[in-house]
Amino acid sequence: MNKLIQIDPKDFVTKPHFLFERQWLLLTAGDFAENDFNCMTIGWGSIGMMWNKPYVAVVVRPTRYTYQFMEKYPDFTLTAFPDTFRKELAYLGSHSGRDEDKLSNTNLIAIKAQKVASPSFVQAELSIECRKIYTADFDPSRFLDPDIEKNYPQKDYHRVYYGEIIAILGTHNYLLDA
């Protein structure tokens, strides 16, 4: 179990391209207390400032089981793990919670998050708690680069969710040096 400290968004340090593209993140939405949640691995998204709020944006195809939880519940978490958990992230990114209790087929253990109903994880080295503030569906008529359409052979265009960052808990590596 990692010892996580509370990090103010202004003091949060990360390499966003590394975090999304290489390390991957687990996106989880639902209600931990009700035992009604689902998670999936994500590799696309962004992090920054919008409407004077620190945010993360994630994109979810409507075909994902997690999509139903993103729609039903007001918040979500994003968690990052040490490299030793890559196998679990690969599993959760290639199996659907629609077909199985996929979390029980990994070593990851969900725990109550600090400020939102969606859970965090015991093994996380970073946990970002978010409240949904904006959603939109990508409109293919506005793709200015034809390469983008190649990502959608099934026409299952992502829905983007902007989440205001409500809390960040992380190891010291994610804290700006004072």
Ligand X SMILES: Cc1cc2nc3c(=O)[nH]c(=O)nc-3n(C[C@H](O)[C@H](O)[C@H](O)COP(=O)(O)O)c2cc1C
Q: Is 94 in the site for ligand X (CB under 6 A)?
A: yes
Q: Is 97 in the site for ligand X (CB under 6 A)?
A: yes
Minimum distance, C-beta of residue 85 to ligand X, in the bound complex (Å) = 13
Q: Is 98 in the site for ligand X (CB under 6 A)?
A: yes
Minimum distance, C-beta of residue 95 to ligand X, in the bound complex (Å) = 5
Nearer to ligand X, 6 or 94 (CB): 94
Residue 23 has phi, psi (to 5 degrees) of -80, -30
Minimum distance, C-beta of residue 8 to ligand X, in the bound complex (Å) = 26
Looking at beta carbons, which pairs linking 135-139 to residues 24 or more positions away fall under 8 Å? Answer: 135/159, 135/160, 135/161, 135/162, 136/160, 138/59
User: What span, in angstroms and rounded, lies between the C-alpha atoms of 111 and 4?
Assistant: 13
Nearer to ligand X, 96 or 114 (CB): 96
Nearer to ligand X, 16 or 115 (CB): 16
Q: Taking the chain, what is the end-to-end CA distance rounded to the nearest angstrom?
A: 25
Minimum distance, C-beta of residue 177 to ligand X, in the bound complex (Å) = 30
Cβ neighbours of residue 13 closer than 8 Å, sequence gap 6 or more: 173, 174, 175, 176
Residue 60-89 contact track with ligand X, rule CB under 6 A, x = bound = xx--xxx-----------------------
* Nearest Cα residue to 29 out of 80, 81, 65, 5: 65
Residue 11-50 contact track with ligand X, rule CB under 6 A, x = bound = -------------x-------------x-xxxxx------
Site for ligand X, rule CB under 6 A: 24, 38, 40-44, 59-61, 64-66, 90, 93-98
